[in-house]
Amino acid sequence: MNFPLLRIGDLACDVPVIQGGMGIAISMSGLASAVANEGGIGVIATSMIGFNEPDIEKNSFPANIRVLRNEIRKAKEKTEGVLGVNIMVALTNFSDMVRTSIEEGIDLILAGAGLPLDLPSYLKDGAKTKLVPIISSARAATIICRKWMANFNYLPDAFVVEGPLAGGHLGFKVEQLDDPDFALEKLIPEVIKAVKPYETKYNKSIPVIAAGGIFTGSDIRRFLGLGVAGVQMATRFVATDECDADDAFKQAYVKAEKEDIKIIKSPVGLPGRAITNKFIDGINKGKEKMNKCLFHCIKSCKRIKSPYCIGQALANAQKGNLAQGFAFAGQNAYRIKEIISVKELINRLREEYLNAG
């Protein structure tokens, strides 16, 4: 007995796990290809993917596109498995990122941080890229299905439903994060119910993927039991040899205690979950100042009023400089105690899944 296959259209994966996209170069071609080689779906995150380019401040759009093309091509050279890109709808260069990914023949696009209502418009004849919105409610699923059918005669190839225990920016109000009515276990059946009429009417399978706080193989089995086709996991993949972040970033996960995982107020106007540190403490006390906007990466960023540039803070952390930045992380990051290979992580998840049966 093994994992059940994850099918999204004509794509089939031996491991029903999508590696979550982690922006500012945490999940690049190295991590994505390693996950794809183990039978899961490896994901390259596009948010500020080109932050290390020498011309990023003067020519941010072309710099980001250049690196995205290179990362997709490098990942394809390393694997014949399934690869995706995560593109936030809120990105100022969302359209260019989508077009580039489709041109490069990426297998699927995962789009969240807003409703990707025009996403099918980028598909050209012959494009095989699957379109997967990331949502946090049944209402969002219904809106997307209705709008896409009306405007493009197209339905999502899958949905990722992200609950309030995820890391990074969250699609919930602060008061909803601990409300049982917004727990992932509650959201999943609601989304499956909302999607079902469209599957029936248009004879198309729209698998639902669970995300946010999923940590073990036992968790995978539990959510598959709720009717999802697979899960998305991000936090676990940070503490792997192949993760593209600096070792100091990974060690922040290994060293984190439960009380270190906190909700912060982000300049982009959303709550975010991160590992608290001296930099965040300094921001909260008004001591840190880093308010030059280098990138203008997010449409909704309050960059004029914010005491710091979140893009710069996350970029610093990715390079190991956590004195001038911080790490986003899921609620269960404190449970990580060591850095292992992607292969070993997948094998552990498989063993846990089988033992939970």
Could you tell me if residue 1 is inside a domain?
no
Query: What local confidence, expressed as pLDDT, does residue 25 receive?
Result: 87
Tell me the β-bridge partners of 11. 8
Q: How many angstroms from the chain centroid is the CA of residue 111?
A: 9
pLDDT in tens, 202-223: 999 999 999 999 999 999 999 9
Tokens 């309050």 -> residue: 302
> Does the pLDDT value for residue 192 go beyond 70?
yes
Q: Assess contact for 191 and 229: CB atoms under 8 A.
A: no
| Dihedral sign (CA 137, 138, 143, 149) | positive
The secondary structure element, H or E, covering residue 97 is helix 94-103
Q: Tell me the mean pLDDT in the region 240-244.
A: 96
198 and 259 share a domain?
A: no
In a domain, 149, yes or no: yes
pTM here is 0.93
| pLDDT tens-place string over residues 144-178 | 999 999 999 999 999 999 999 998 878 888 888 88
Q: Which residue has the higher pLDDT, 287 or 86?
A: 86
- Say if residue 256 is in the same domain as residue 169: no
**Average pLDDT estimate for 348-354:** 97
Dihedral sign, Cα of residue 184, residue 189, residue 194, residue 197: positive
The verdict on residue 88 lying in a domain is yes
Q: What is the CATH number of the domain that holds 159?
A: 3.20.20.70
Q: How many domains does the chain have?
A: 2
Shared-domain flag, residues 114 and 259: no
Residues 231 and 252 in one domain: no
Let me know whether 88 and 101 are in one domain: yes
Q: Would 170 be classed as within a structural domain?
A: yes
The reply to whether 261 and 350 lie within a common domain is no
Q: Is 320 exposed, middle or buried (0-12, 13-18, 19+ CB in 10 A)?
A: middle
Same domain, 231 and 301: no
Residue 272 identity: G
The whole-number average pLDDT for the span 8-34 is 95
Instruction: Say yes or no: 256 and 315 in one domain.
Output: yes
Domain check: are 25 and 151 in the same one? Answer: yes
- Residue predicted with more confidence, 299 or 120: 120
Query: Do 292 and 313 belong together in one domain?
Result: yes
pLDDT band at 306 (very low <50, low <70, confident <90, very high): low
134 in any annotated domain: yes
Range 257-261 average pLDDT: 96
Q: Mean pLDDT lowest for which of 191-205, 220-234, 253-267?
A: 253-267
Looking at the fold, whether 150 and 210 belong to one and the same domain comes out as yes
CA dihedral 315, 117, 132, 174 (to 10 degrees): 60
| pLDDT > 60? residue 292 | no
Which pLDDT score, from 0 to 100, does residue 37 have? 98
100-145 pLDDT tens trace: 999 999 999 999 888 999 999 999 888 999 999 999 999 999 999 9
DSSP one-letter string for 273-325 = EEE--HHHHHHHTT---B---S---BTT--TTT-SB-HHHHHHHHHTT-GGG-
Task: Tally Cβ neighbours within 10 Å of residue 303.
Answer: 20
What lies within 8 Å, CB to CB, of 195 at 6+ separation is 141, 145, 159, 206, 208
Answer yes or no: do 290 and 343 share one domain: no
Question: To 5 degrees, how large is the angle CA 115–CA 189–CA 261?
Answer: 70
- Domain of residue 83, residue span: 6-245+337-355
Q: What integer best gives the mean pLDDT of the chain?
A: 91
C-alpha dist (Å) from residue 92 to 5, 95, 136, 247, 329: 35, 8, 22, 30, 24
